[in-house]
Copies of this chain bind each other. A is one copy, B any other.
Amino acid sequence: MMGTDKKLRSNVSQPSIIEPGQPASRPDDPPLLPGEKVMGVAREVTYLCPYSGPARGVLSVTNYKLHFRSMDRDTPYVVEVPLGVVSRVEKVGGQSSRGENSYGIELFCKDMRNLRFGHKQENHSRRNVFEKLQQYAFPLSHKLPLFAFDYSEVFPENGWNVLEPIAEFKRMGVPNDMWKITKINEHYEICDSYPAVWAIPAAATDDDVRAVAAFRSRARIPVLSWIHPESQATICRCSQPLVGVGGKRCREDERYIQLIMDANAQSHKLYIMDARPSANAIANKAKGGGYESEDAYQNAELVFLDIHNIHVMRESLRKLKDLCFPNVEEARWLSGIEATYWLKHIKYILAGASRIANRVETHKTSVLVHCSDGWDRTAQLTALAMLLLDPYYRTIKGFEVLIEKEWLSFGHKFQQRIGHGDDRHSDADRSPVFLQFVDCVWQLTQMFPDAFQFNETLLITILDHLYSCRFGTFLFNSDRERVQDNVKQRTVSLWSYINSSIDNYRNPLYLPRPGVLEPVASVRLISLWKGLYCRWNPGMRPQDPIYQRIRELLVLKEQLEKQVDECKQEQKARVSRNMPTPPRLASPVHS
């Protein structure tokens, strides 16, 4: 039975703030978030778990999630899927379908899962569930708002303030003699996919900027991403030059690139790292794009990093999903992973980032990074190179800043790549570009287990909410769109949520240290992130997580340190008082 009006009213009358996990007033209701409402309930639904077999229970659909609670198990279990995660909903089994549980609904998810539910034909519950799932999984296709605009939870910290562009530039010592901050794009008039505030060579004029914008795809001109605190070698990012088949040149662009090179006194060279395979870069000339010729750009060395485009990556992930879910073929597991090329793609991205970091750090040479439009592979490369170079980005807050800066403010098209609330599941614009970046970060945390303040939980939480549409963070394609829709005012930032329980995301092994990480990008050292891709399969979970033990050790250490401290204070006090009377002894240890 679907929820009736009465049911919905009873829900509305509940206190408006319900903590997640707190039971709602009616026993069948799932726990609700502030702003979440039950849209439909169906009973006698069977969840066809690929691991533990069918379970009968109650299925609820809210404006945020699908919630299933089993009723026929000794220990009832719950399956919960934020509807933003759903990429496709399908009916399975027709009117005449035979066999138990063959009639129902199947959900295909962006997080590697598929879920299948069996409905009783005689209940007529399927039609309503299907309809509600369609509406709330794909609200944009049904002229409904994304859940983030209904969600009203209040957190102590406002995550929207995590990145203050001017402050972040200041942290890097910008402005300085060679770099200035410009608000020429304050109203997104030069480049509608770029942030409002840029750092550019101090010698560049507004006219230069306009001329360069005309010569770069989508007007994404070279601007500063990062500057080395000592050598002043920089990482800049942009899109491809509009060279075309005729090999067009642009004096202003050439001069502007020279200004970037000149801003670094340590080197008379500039590396232009083109993320693409050279064949793709050449092919782009036919569409008016291309790459910098070394004739036109004196002292620049062009390097192709051989990273494939969004379509290749999407196909690779599709194969990986087939391999990981629901079950894997034991005997072909390793060759199956190899055949997806997922790890190979990860390797090329890591190798590219490592190369950029090495040029900046060791060669003290500035690097300009682009791909075609500069919002996919370029973001992967600059963000990873910055993570390798700058320990600040390896802290939790620094990592949030990095994502805000290199991904969000520079217009990675989250809306297009993820397809939030959109039912066109086979849209060719979708691609796991940001997922690949997070996978690369995970690989680095495995290679350097004490270099990151955050743990795997942070990375998985970010990815969960990349899809969930609970927070405003990953909505829209650019800062301009987010400003236009008042996202900061109307939605909650993911960082508000994460920073309110930051201890969950700490790496107990973290040891803050300066210095650059130098990963070896080899398939032999890169491994499949089972904790993410295989997490739905209970047989794939680690049997005995090491981190719990380390965390306990750290807590114990802190308590002991406190005790030693108190003891010393006490002794000091006693000495100064020259005490004959008894001291108050150290407090007991709580473990």
Nearest CB of chain B from residue A401's CB, rounded to whole Å: 24
Task: Select the stretch in A78-86, A301-309, A454-462, A575-583 that faces chain B.
Answer: A575-583
Of B511, B522, B563, B590, the contact of A564 (CB 8 Å cutoff): B563
With an 8 Å Cβ cutoff, the count of chain A residues facing the other chain is 66
Nearest residue (CB) in B for A584 is B585
The verdict on A330 contacting B524 (CB below 8 Å), with A553-B553, A587-B588 known, is yes
Cβ–Cβ < 8 Å partners of A534 in chain B? 524
Cβ–Cβ < 8 Å partners of A523 in chain B? 330-331, 333-334
Cβ–Cβ < 8 Å partners of A333 in chain B? 338, 523-524
A246 within 8 A of B: no
A571 within 8 A of B: yes
A560 within 8 A of B: yes
Cβ–Cβ < 8 Å partners of A450 in chain B? 544, 546, 549
Of B334, B581, B588, the contact of A582 (CB 8 Å cutoff): B581
A449 within 8 A of B: yes
A549-563 vs B, Cβ < 8 Å mask (1 yes, 0 no): 110011011001101
Nearest CB of chain B from residue A31's CB, rounded to whole Å: 32
A539 within 8 A of B: yes
Whether A334 contacts B338 by the Cβ 8 Å rule is: yes
For A335, A343, A519, A530, the residue with the greatest tally of chain B CB atoms inside 10 Å of its CB is A335
Cβ–Cβ < 8 Å partners of A525 in chain B? 540, 543
Of B449, B539, B571, B590, the contact of A522 (CB 8 Å cutoff): B539
Whether B540 contacts A524 by the Cβ 8 Å rule is: yes
A51-69 vs B, Cβ < 8 Å mask (1 yes, 0 no): 0000000000000000000
Whether A328 contacts B585 by the Cβ 8 Å rule is: no
The verdict on A550 contacting B509 (CB below 8 Å), with A448-B543, A578-B580 known, is yes
Cβ–Cβ < 8 Å partners of A26 in chain B? none
Once the chains are docked, how many angstroms separate the CA of A333 from the CA of B344?
A: 11
Once the chains are docked, how many angstroms separate the CA of A296 from the CA of B534?
A: 47
Cβ–Cβ < 8 Å partners of A539 in chain B? 520, 522, 524
8 Å CB interface, A427-471 against B: 447-451
Once the chains are docked, how many angstroms separate the CA of A335 from the CA of B336?
A: 8
8 Å CB interface, A259-317 against B: none
Nearest CB of chain B from residue A554's CB, rounded to whole Å: 7
Nearest residue (CB) in B for A580 is B578
Cβ–Cβ < 8 Å partners of A334 in chain B? 334-335, 337-338, 343, 523
Nearest residue (CB) in B for A324 is B524
A332 within 8 A of B: yes
Cβ–Cβ < 8 Å partners of A553 in chain B? 550, 553-554, 557
Cβ–Cβ < 8 Å partners of A172 in chain B? none
A568 within 8 A of B: yes
Nearest CB of chain B from residue A472's CB, rounded to whole Å: 36
Nearest CB of chain B from residue A530's CB, rounded to whole Å: 7
A501 within 8 A of B: no
Once the chains are docked, how many angstroms separate the CA of A591 from the CA of B568?
A: 18
A567 within 8 A of B: yes
Cβ–Cβ < 8 Å partners of A590 in chain B? 591
Whether A583 contacts B564 by the Cβ 8 Å rule is: no
For A334, A448, A449, the residue with the greatest tally of chain B CB atoms inside 10 Å of its CB is A334
Nearest CB of chain B from residue A306's CB, rounded to whole Å: 13
A586 within 8 A of B: yes
Once the chains are docked, how many angstroms separate the CA of A553 from the CA of B584?
A: 27
Cβ–Cβ < 8 Å partners of A574 in chain B? 583
Cβ–Cβ < 8 Å partners of A451 in chain B? 544
The verdict on A520 contacting B543 (CB below 8 Å), with A334-B337, A338-B334, A571-B583 known, is yes
A500-544 vs B, Cβ < 8 Å mask (1 yes, 0 no): 000000000101000000111011110100100010000110111
Nearest CB of chain B from residue A509's CB, rounded to whole Å: 5
A167 within 8 A of B: no
Whether B583 contacts A583 by the Cβ 8 Å rule is: yes
Whether B546 contacts A449 by the Cβ 8 Å rule is: yes
Cβ–Cβ < 8 Å partners of A542 in chain B? 447
Cβ–Cβ < 8 Å partners of A511 in chain B? 549
The verdict on A586 contacting B557 (CB below 8 Å), with A334-B335, A519-B543, A524-B330 known, is no
Cβ–Cβ < 8 Å partners of A339 in chain B? 335
A118-148 vs B, Cβ < 8 Å mask (1 yes, 0 no): 0000000000000000000000000000000
Whether A449 contacts B544 by the Cβ 8 Å rule is: yes
Whether B571 contacts A585 by the Cβ 8 Å rule is: yes
Cβ–Cβ < 8 Å partners of A582 in chain B? 575, 579-583
Nearest CB of chain B from residue A531's CB, rounded to whole Å: 12
Once the chains are docked, how many angstroms separate the CA of A462 from the CA of B578?
A: 58
Once the chains are docked, how many angstroms separate the CA of A518 from the CA of B544?
A: 11
Nearest CB of chain B from residue A553's CB, rounded to whole Å: 5
Q: Which 6 A-B residue pairings sit nearest by Cβ, starting from the closest?
A: A560-B560, A567-B567, A335-B335, A334-B338, A334-B334, A449-B546
A residues near B (Cβ < 8 Å) are 328, 330-335, 337-339, 343-344, 347, 447-451, 509, 511, 518-520, 522-525, 527, 530, 534, 539-540, 542-544, 546, 549-550, 553-554, 556-557, 560-561, 563-564, 567-568, 570-571, 574-575, 578-591
Q: Can you name 13 A-B pairs with beta carbons within 8 Å?
A: A330-B347, A334-B335, A334-B337, A334-B338, A335-B335, A335-B339, A449-B549, A563-B586, A564-B564, A567-B567, A567-B568, A580-B581, A582-B582
